[in-house]
């Protein structure tokens, strides 16, 4: 997982990031993607249910069921927009669902499909309520600003699955560098990750000195060292102005930036990290963490084709 900018990170960060990228590829667990949403048509639910089947075959039905019923491995407590992150109360962890009996399956499938359709409508409403600039906001990006597809990753720096995804997204965005604008959004799971918000605020401070991506890589490469000492040490290694870094990460603006991203994740109804929203601002895909890169490739191709129609 090397820096996404054309610069050389400190040797220890770079070497560990490369090792992490290789290990992440080996440990990634494939998961079926969720389905598709489109704005505009009255029959969008039925339309995009069938398109989802055409996109990824019958496995998409299983994905809809999986996403509707799966336990969230990393929880989903986020920071509300009107409260300081540290004031959020811990939420109980979700319990794994029991396997349905054959008699329960039709009813469960109908309920899962209804929940899936509600999720798609919710995402449709959020994406359709603003323009591209509003969706991206002031978040860190990689890729051409006018790329036909926007890929938004909602992520937590203490989540191990997010570290795996960081390495995989590096490979994907490098391969589609002209087609995809990659956007990072904070989704801190504060009920189970005590360093999620401090780490997010540290990266926000690094971004104020145009060093978000290299700092991002350093946090994921040494995820087991997250804490005050490492935040400052990493900032020193990459040459940040430490006085400004400390001032920025402890500022109300840092709190507000992290809370704003977390609020968007709530509006979209996201359940865990990482989660990926891919959109051309007319049609959208929502993919869970662990989805194979082939799904991102096909989603990109379909969104590009739809944008040209």
pLDDT score at 138: 96
The full set of domain ranges for the chain reads 11-30+70-99+130-308
Cα 309 to Cα 84: distance, rounded to the nearest angstrom: 44
Beta bridge partners of 38: 283
| Residue 295 near residue 28, CB atoms below 8 Å | no
What is the pLDDT averaged over residues 4-17?
A: 35
Question: For residue 78, what are its two tokens?
Answer: 């986020």
With respect to CATH, is domain 11-30+70-99+130-308 assigned 3.40.30.10? yes
- Asked whether the predicted pLDDT for residue 257 surpasses 70, the reply is yes
Please enumerate in sequence order all residues whose Cβ is within 8 A of that of 161, keeping only pairs 6 or more positions apart, or say none: 73, 74, 273, 274, 289, 290
| Secondary structure (3-state) at 143 | coil
Question: For residue 256, what are its two tokens?
Answer: 């507000």
For the chain, what percent of residues have pLDDT higher than 90?
A: 55
Looking at per-residue pLDDT, the higher value among 288 and 264 belongs to 264
Please enumerate in sequence order all residues whose Cβ is within 8 A of that of 212, keeping only pairs 6 or more positions apart, or say none: 140, 184, 203, 204, 206
pLDDT in tens, 73-90: 333 333 333 344 333 333
- Asked whether the predicted pLDDT for residue 289 surpasses 90, the reply is no
Q: Per 3-state DSSP, what percentage of the chain is helix, strand, and coil (rounded to 5)? A: 55, 10, 35
pLDDT score at 308: 85
What is the pLDDT averaged over residues 58-83?
A: 37
pLDDT band of 309, cuts 50, 70, 90: confident
pLDDT score at 121: 85
pLDDT score at 102: 55
- Asked whether the predicted pLDDT for residue 173 surpasses 50, the reply is yes
Is this model's pTM higher than 0.85 or not? Answer: no
Among 170, 72, 62, 120, CA closest to 279:
120
Handedness of CA 192, 92, 88, 82 (dihedral sign): positive
pLDDT score at 90: 36
- Asked whether the predicted pLDDT for residue 251 surpasses 70, the reply is yes
Question: CA 144: distance to chain centroid?
Answer: 19
The side-by-side arrangement of strands in the sheet containing 141-142 is 36-38, 283-288, 275-279, 149-155, 180-186, 141-142
């Amino acid at each position: 997982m090397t820096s996404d900018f054309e610069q050389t990170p400190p040797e220890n960060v770079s070497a560990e990031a490369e090792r992490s990228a290789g290990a992440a590829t080996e440990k990634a667990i494939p998961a079926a993607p969720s389905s598709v949403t489109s704005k505009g048509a009255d029959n969008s639910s039925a339309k995009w249910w069938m398109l989802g089947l055409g996109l990824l075959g019958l496995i998409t039905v299983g994905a809809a069921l999986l996403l509707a019923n799966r336990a969230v491995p990393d929880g989903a407590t986020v920071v509300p927009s009107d409260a300081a992150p540290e004031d959020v109360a811990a939420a109980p962890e979700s319990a794994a669902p029991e396997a349905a009996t054959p008699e329960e399956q039709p009813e469960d499938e109908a309920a899962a499909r209804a929940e899936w359709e509600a999720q798609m409508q919710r995402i449709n409403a959020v994406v359709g309520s603003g323009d591209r600039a509003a969706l991206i906001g002031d978040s860190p990006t990689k890729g051409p600003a006018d790329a036909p597809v926007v890929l938004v990753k909602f992520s937590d720096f203490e989540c191990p699955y997010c570290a795996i995804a960081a390495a995989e997204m590096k490979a994907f965005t490098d391969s589609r560098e002209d087609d995809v604008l990659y956007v990072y959004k904070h989704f801190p799971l504060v009920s189970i990750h005590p360093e999620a918000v401090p780490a997010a605020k540290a990266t926000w401070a690094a971004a104020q000195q145009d060093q978000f991506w290299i700092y991002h890589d350093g946090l994921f490469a040494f995820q087991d060292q997250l804490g005050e000492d490492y935040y400052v040490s990493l900032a020193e290694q990459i040459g940040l102005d430490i006085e400004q870094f400390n001032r920025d990460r402890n500022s109300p603006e840092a709190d507000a930036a992290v809370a704003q991203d977390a609020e968007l994740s709530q509006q979209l109804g996201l359940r865990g990290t990482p989660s990926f929203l891919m959109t051309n601002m007319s049609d959208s895909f929502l993919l869970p963490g662990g989805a194979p890169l082939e799904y991102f490739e096909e989603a990109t191709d379909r969104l590009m084709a739809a944008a040209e129609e």
